[in-house]
Amino acid sequence: MKAIRIHAPGGPEAMRLEELPDPVAGPGQAVVRTESIGVNFIDVYQRTGLYKLDLPATLGVEAAGVVTAVGPEVQDVRPGDRVAWAMAPGAYATAAAIPAAKLVPVPERVTARHAAAALLQGMTAHYLATSTYPLGPGDTCLVHAAAGGVGLLLCQIARRRGARVLATVSTAAKADLALGAGADTVIRYDQEDFETAVRQLSAGRGVQVVYDSVGQATYEKSLRSLAPRGMLVLYGQSSGAVPPIDPLLLSHRGSLFLTRPSLAHYSASREELLTRAGEVLGWLGEGALTLRIGLELPLAQAAQAHRELEARRTTGKVLLVP
């Protein structure tokens, strides 16, 4: 099989296309022939060494495909099943041995391409809007990077739950995408200060929750955009890490809440994983959730996919094709 691996942390050039032995299913594992592979910012964090890996390592944590073999003690899947997974390593490859407990069934009406595009980012948007801060009618949220993969899905799920959605973007084209995904108001942060805009749009009160995947460049103004007892949800750091925050600052700003969640902790049990994945893929199959796939490249061009993602030249989902 072919796989994209790194032998040391580094830039996109650290990624190598290598020929490896075909995977064998061990106890509790299933071998999946990948048909579509999701590219996510966590892949960048792992490649650069921000998130540590045992090296050498095959990158990627999300893909969809067909089960070709199962190991001992596997009961949930069998050869021929269409499956997808998120948050299990080894996705940047033509085949992978994955813990069967991490695999979720792909509905008949959902393609492998759409499953790989929706699972990780869709489940992320799902837990953000339904569990971390359960949005409802009367809530107003601010979504940063609203034209990105998670952002577009988060806007849709937030509207589905009855919340008012304010979205930040950097271009007119991205503004159109965010509005199409259900944002009530788009703030062009390249043209105006988003903190000032949020205060004006909320009659000075601020919003109940800010979903911030940008990090260093936005977190201070995100905090100042919150209403008293509001919540800042830092779920990424595309602009860099957020420095330590004095807890007294949260008190001074209005008894605010701050959290740094992870999908791994919001899909820790098999039951929770199946529930989240089932809702996201079910909505997708029903046409209630719309995907935007902004870029597809061959597996061999994974480095270029990372360059595009890091430069924020992408909208929606980035996929690799084995």
Structure token digits, residue 4: 């994209």
207, 225, 260: which is the final residue of a domain?
Answer: 260
Across 82-91, average pLDDT: 95
Mark whether 162 and 236 lie in a shared domain.
yes
Would you say residue 305 lies in a domain?
yes
Q: What residue type is assigned to position 256 of the chain?
A: L
Would you say residue 129 lies in a domain?
no
Ranges assigned E (strand) in 222-288:
226-234, 257-259
Residue 242's pLDDT is 85
Mark whether 76 and 106 lie in a shared domain.
yes
Would you say residue 97 lies in a domain?
yes
Considering only 30-34, 219-223, 236-240, 305-309, which range has the smallest mean pLDDT?
Answer: 236-240
Residue 133's pLDDT is 98
Confidence grade of residue 216 (pLDDT, cut at 50, 70, 90) = confident
Packed helices 112-127 and 149-160: angle between N→C axes, nearest 10 degrees: 60
CA distances from 206 to 82, 130, 211 (A): 45, 20, 13
- CB neighbourhood size of 57 (10 A): 18
260, 292, 310: which is the final residue of a domain?
Answer: 260
Across 297-311, average pLDDT: 94
Asked if 147 and 315 count as a contact pair (C-beta separation under 8 A), the reply is yes
Residue 103's pLDDT is 97
Would you say residue 244 lies in a domain?
yes
Mark whether 254 and 302 lie in a shared domain.
no
Given the DSSP bridges, would you call strands 82-86 and 62-70 parallel, antiparallel or unpaired? antiparallel
Residue 314's pLDDT is 80
Residue 84's pLDDT is 98
Angle at 296 between CA 123 and CA 265, to 5 degrees: 20
**For residue 163, is pLDDT > 80?**
yes
Mark whether 84 and 147 lie in a shared domain.
no
Mark whether 13 and 44 lie in a shared domain.
yes
Q: Tell me if the bond preceding 261 is cis, omega within 30° of 0.
A: no
Mark whether 160 and 94 lie in a shared domain.
no
Would you say residue 126 lies in a domain?
no
CA distances from 78 to 108, 143, 148 (A): 16, 40, 34
Mark whether 40 and 100 lie in a shared domain.
yes
Would you say residue 124 lies in a domain?
no
**For residue 265, is pLDDT > 90?**
yes
Task: Give the Cα separation of 24 and 133 in Å (integer).
Answer: 41
Mark whether 150 and 256 lie in a shared domain.
yes
Confidence grade of residue 214 (pLDDT, cut at 50, 70, 90) = confident
Mark whether 96 and 190 lie in a shared domain.
no
Mark whether 196 and 94 lie in a shared domain.
no
Given the DSSP bridges, would you call strands 62-70 and 29-39 parallel, antiparallel or unpaired? antiparallel
**For residue 35, is pLDDT > 90?**
yes
Across 133-139, average pLDDT: 97
Across 149-174, average pLDDT: 94
User: Has this prediction a pTM greater than 0.75?
Assistant: yes
CATH number reported for the structural domain that contains residue 183 in this entry = 3.40.50.720
**For residue 316, is pLDDT > 80?**
no
Q: CA-CA-CA-CA torsion for 187, 38, 62, 93, nearest 10 degrees? A: -160
Across 246-273, average pLDDT: 94
Confidence grade of residue 6 (pLDDT, cut at 50, 70, 90) = very high
Mark whether 71 and 96 lie in a shared domain.
yes
Residue 312's pLDDT is 79
Residue 215's pLDDT is 79
Across 114-132, average pLDDT: 96
Task: Give the Cα separation of 77 and 52 in Å (integer).
Answer: 30
Domain extent for 22 = 2-119+282-321
Which residues are CB-contacts of 275 (< 8 A; sequence separation ≥ 6)?
none
Across 98-119, average pLDDT: 96
Instruction: Please tell me the total count of domains within the chain.
Output: 2
Would you say residue 21 lies in a domain?
yes
Would you say residue 78 lies in a domain?
yes
Average confidence score pLDDT of the chain: 94
Mark whether 83 and 198 lie in a shared domain.
no
Considering only 126-135, 260-269, 310-319, which range has the smallest mean pLDDT?
Answer: 310-319
pLDDT tens across 227-243, in order?
Answer: 999 999 999 877 778 88
CATH number reported for the structural domain that contains residue 114 in this entry = 3.90.180.10
